[in-house]
Amino acid sequence: MAQVLEFKLPDLGEGLTEAEIVRWLVEVGDVVAIDQPVVEVETAKAMVEVPCPYGGVVTARFGEEGTELPVGAPLITVAVGERPASGEGDAAGAEGSGNVLVGYGTSEAPARRRRVRRERPVSGASAAGSPAVTGQGAAPAAVNGRAGARETEDGPVPVISPLVRRLARQNGLDLRELTGSGPDGLILRADVEYALRAAARAGAAAQPHAPVPQATSTATAPQPTAPQPTAPQPTVTAAHGEIRTPLKGIRGAVADKLARSRREIPDATCWVDADATELMRARTAMNAAGGPKISLLALLARICTAALARFPELNSTVDAEAREVVRFDHVHLGFAAQTDRGLVVPVVRDAHARDAESLTAEFARLTEAGRTGTLTPAELTGGTFTLNNYGVFGVDGSTPIINHPEAAMLGVGRIIPKPWVHEGELAVRQVVQLSLTFDHRVCDGGTAGGFLRYVADCVEQPAVLLRTL
């Protein structure tokens, strides 16, 4: 007799109380192994896959895709100790791993069941060399030159970005019918767009008077490209000329944090223009010497951590309940990154103890994780100071909102040639605007001005930084 066990949405950590179901990875009747991911959810921090601690046959799922569930709500029920009648795989025993933490599993890799899709008849369009249109309006790609049956694995399909997965779902496209053009068959955004355009063309040929879905790109063939930003999908149209988009997930979390920062933090901003010519020359010389390339963001981070060592008041937070300023002896440096899913602030742990090469590598890793939606909650929390390089958007200055509960944020504008008085003569120099937004409760303007002036001095004369190392 099989025992039916209920698996509830686990505590995902970092104070998260709910999550939105993005995509189910199993169907009712599927066999799951212990610690196999069963659902992909989006929290206010990141996109994560949730593993089930039980092995057996899925008997029920709770919640449709797009539904928000609180922590502790049922996700699925699993019948353990039962074998499927089809013989497609073996259910695991009645014992579970006891581990429901996201991202962790048992020491053995979970077994995966393979399933062969039934062969579908090839339409005249397919025989002529055009993609056939499935019942979902999608165009299946050939597998190694075969347009017929295809063998697939249960579980997540390799997709470059959660946004690409969502694009396919919103257009009724089965990703298992595609073969990705990326490395190891990775499905790219261009692959999905190509399939949608093929489906639109085939639909237009079959029903010339029917509305044709608009393609999302003008490309004529799938190319390995990075995902492009997409606008949030409106879910409710309230009235003529009105489109409402729920503030939830990461967008909602950002809205809540920014609103709280404005309510609680009496912030002030000071700024200064600096001649960055020598800093740019120093970076060019470092990269010309060979070895891993050093990013400009990494050099700015080194300057930032050195400035915080001289002005530690800004590396702090305010405990409003205790009416205390809490100063940190470490620098966990957050940096603002714009991604397809909105603004995120990944955190470089112990940035004060890293050299420029290590900082460059960590910035690159976290930026890529943010782009693909794989940042963990731990990588998005715990920052003590934020570096905001808004110059990448082609703007000179900004008065950003402090990343609550931190006490300050350094902003860096674009570096562009400008007229500048250098050594008593007018010259064209590489000029940048630096700004510091700070919590006026942790320090006065003299401290904030001293910090910003030191940063500007290091930008103008990198040798100043060497004296502090």
Q: How far is CA 168 from its chain centroid?
A: 18
Whether the predicted pLDDT of 418 surpasses 70:
yes
In the chain the domains, ranked by start, together with CATH numbers, are 3-105 (2.40.50.100), 132-233 (no CATH), 250-466 (3.30.559.10)
For residue 328, give both structure tokens. 């940190």
> With b meaning 16 or more CB within 10 Å and e meaning fewer, what string describes 24-62?
bbbeeebbbbbbbbbbbbbbbbbbbbbbbbbbbbbbebb
Q: Distance between CA atoms of 114 and 155, rounded to whole angstroms?
A: 10
Higher per-residue pLDDT: 242 or 325: 325
Higher per-residue pLDDT: 266 or 166: 266
In a 10 Å sphere around its CB, with 0-12 CB exposed, 13-18 middle and 19+ buried, how is residue 81 labelled? middle
Phi, psi (deg, nearest 5) at residue 464 = -60, -40
Model's pTM, two decimal places?
Answer: 0.57
Whether the predicted pLDDT of 101 surpasses 80:
no
150: number of Cβ within 10 Å = 19
- Residue 381 three-state SS: coil
The string of pLDDT tens digits covering residues 204-230 is 655 544 443 443 333 333 343 444 444
Q: Are 55 and 84 in contact (CB under 8 A)?
A: no
Higher per-residue pLDDT: 214 or 80: 80
Give the strands of the sheet with 36-42, arranged side by side.
47-52, 36-42, 18-24, 68-70
Q: Where are the alpha helices (DSSP H) in 311-408?
A: 356-372
Whether the predicted pLDDT of 270 surpasses 90:
yes
- Residue 60 three-state SS: strand
Q: Quote the pLDDT of residue 313.
A: 97
Lowest mean pLDDT among 40-54, 88-102, 141-155, 271-285: 141-155
Give the catalytic positions in this structure: 440, 444
The string of pLDDT tens digits covering residues 148-181 is 333 344 455 676 555 677 778 878 888 888 887 7
Q: Quote the pLDDT of residue 443.
A: 96
- Residue 77 three-state SS: strand
Whether the predicted pLDDT of 403 surpasses 80:
yes
Q: How far apart are the first and last CA of the chain?
A: 69
Sign of the C-alpha dihedral, residues 35, 39, 44, 45? positive
Q: How far is CA 395 from its chain centroid?
A: 24
> How big is the CA angle at 292 (ends 289 and 296), to the nearest 5 degrees?
90
The string of pLDDT tens digits covering residues 291-304 is 899 999 999 999 99
Sign of the C-alpha dihedral, residues 64, 65, 68, 69? positive
Give, as one character, the DSSP assignment of residue 104: -
> How big is the CA angle at 377 (ends 374 and 383), to the nearest 5 degrees?
115
Q: Quote the pLDDT of residue 349.
A: 96
Mean pLDDT computed over 259-287: 95
Q: Quote the pLDDT of residue 210.
A: 43
Closest by CA to 394, choosing from 376, 413, 381, 371, is 413
